[in-house]
Structure 1
């Protein structure tokens, strides 16, 4: 039976309230991202050198490291194939998941986290964010964050806007409100256009540079079929694969506690 998305969203929000925070309170006090240090929690800054970062496309580095990212999952059939391919090569990637798909496959999301990959926030319903109010944006992000937390025990510490539609003002708003940087990309094979598997892999192999953030989709079958060629080709060029947090010089995303909105009073 198809899942009623409104009921599912309400269930997630009820889970948010049960956890002591909610995306829909009229007033907010915003917590900081914090690093677990035993029983102590200390503020953890955004940025490789402690600076504030609103939008990230790539990292300037001479090291041959790249971050491979996948958007729009989880996909019941293709995402497990991606995970198997990555596991066979000992490679970690970053998955920007859609909230309403997370609640349909929490076990698969838990597997992504369990196998050492990073999970990023890709909103609840994949909307055009440029058309939304700030309140609606935070609602999309908070609901997805709690869906991921309910599946994995951890909340994402990075966000990618659908279609890349997020201006600098919105990115600054999100950083100030949720301490989340906006992660875009520097290598885009436009696999969603279905140009063919070799065209996708050729583009990535030709255009990747040190510190690159590679955009892919784990809902595109051509991308998945040609993923071994991409991984082996970049490895042959001397590249090492890291998660977004690792690329930024952060601890692993699931070693950090991200605090979303908590009620005032």
Structure 2
């Protein structure tokens, strides 16, 4: 796979933007229709023989549940990826800062959690840029991956986002359907049963049952020999906190 290009990643930060230098990515599973110039525009899992998986948590931060989850991860020395909603970032910045300070990755999950597939490009970019700006203002760095609410993002939109913002769209390979609130034991069972090396696991830290499922899930993954990493880590990118960014004039 070709080395990702070094086009500027334009973020909505006033008259300026942030440009990450993207490193060599590990081989990724992607359909031919999801490739832009031989680069992965859509990621569902990572092709690897190493026993690594990425736990991801959507729709936060939650004022009560996210800190509980962070306590669980800290006690086990684990890192996860949090796909945050922009309007919640500005409401609970202290939790967002804690997520970043404790070594977890923060991804972009739009500003207001709409069905982006129903919106035009300008509206889509506004949702994403506002969220990038909010995350940058709290943490000092922009997100480097995007997850669409409900997974509702067309192939054309994914290509557009990758071309204009250099943001890959990260979906998932394991879905416990925790949003249906099936109970903590069922959530844990589904995650453990579906996990494979390179899996990206979807979950939501806004549901009590999901957070209650995490001790058994995290310990169960460990007992099965899995190591947890952030999305960037399992893709072979540097830890999000160690990425260097340079300012470029937005144009």
Q: TM-score, normalised by structure 2?
A: 0.87
Question: Counterpart of 1:47?
Answer: 25
Distance 1:45 1:169 in 2: 25
> Structure 2 vs 1, CA of residues 49 and 225 (structure 1 numbering), >3 Å: closer, same or farther?
closer
Question: Counterpart of 1:16?
Answer: 13
Question: Counterpart of 2:194?
Answer: 207
Shift of 1:253: 1.6
List 4+ stretches of structure 1 deviating above 4 A.
257-262
Deviation sequence 1:46-99 (CA, Å, 0-9, x none): 732595111000011111000000000000000000000000000000000000
Shift of 1:257: 4.5
Shift of 1:263: 3.6
**Superposed, which structure 2 residues align to 1:128-139 within 5 Å?**
128-139=115-126
Shift of 1:231: 0.4
The SS at the match of 1:226 is helix
Question: Counterpart of 1:152?
Answer: 139
> Structure 2 vs 1, CA of residues 55 and 259 (structure 1 numbering), >3 Å: closer, same or farther?
farther
Shift of 1:45: 4.8
> Structure 2 vs 1, CA of residues 258 and 141 (structure 1 numbering), >3 Å: closer, same or farther?
farther
Structure of larger gyration radius:
1
The SS at the match of 2:144 is coil
Question: Counterpart of 2:112?
Answer: 125
Matched, 1:97 2:92: no
1:249 is aligned, of 231, 236, 239, to: 236
Q: Is the 8 A contact 2:27 2:47 kept in 1?
A: no
Matched residues, number? 231
Question: Counterpart of 1:116?
Answer: 103
Q: Is the 8 A contact 1:110 1:152 kept in 2?
A: yes
The SS at the match of 1:73 is coil
Shift of 1:216: 0.6
1:84 is aligned, of 34, 46, 71, to: 71
Q: Is the 8 A contact 2:58 2:84 kept in 1?
A: yes
RMSD: 1.9
List gaps (5 residues or longer) in structure 2: 1-11, 29-37
Question: Counterpart of 2:205?
Answer: 218
List gaps (5 residues or longer) in structure 1: 1-14, 23-30, 35-43
Distance 2:89 2:42 in 1: 25
Q: Is the 8 A contact 2:107 2:146 kept in 1?
A: yes
Distance 2:244 2:157 in 1: 23
Distance 1:133 1:170 in 2: 9
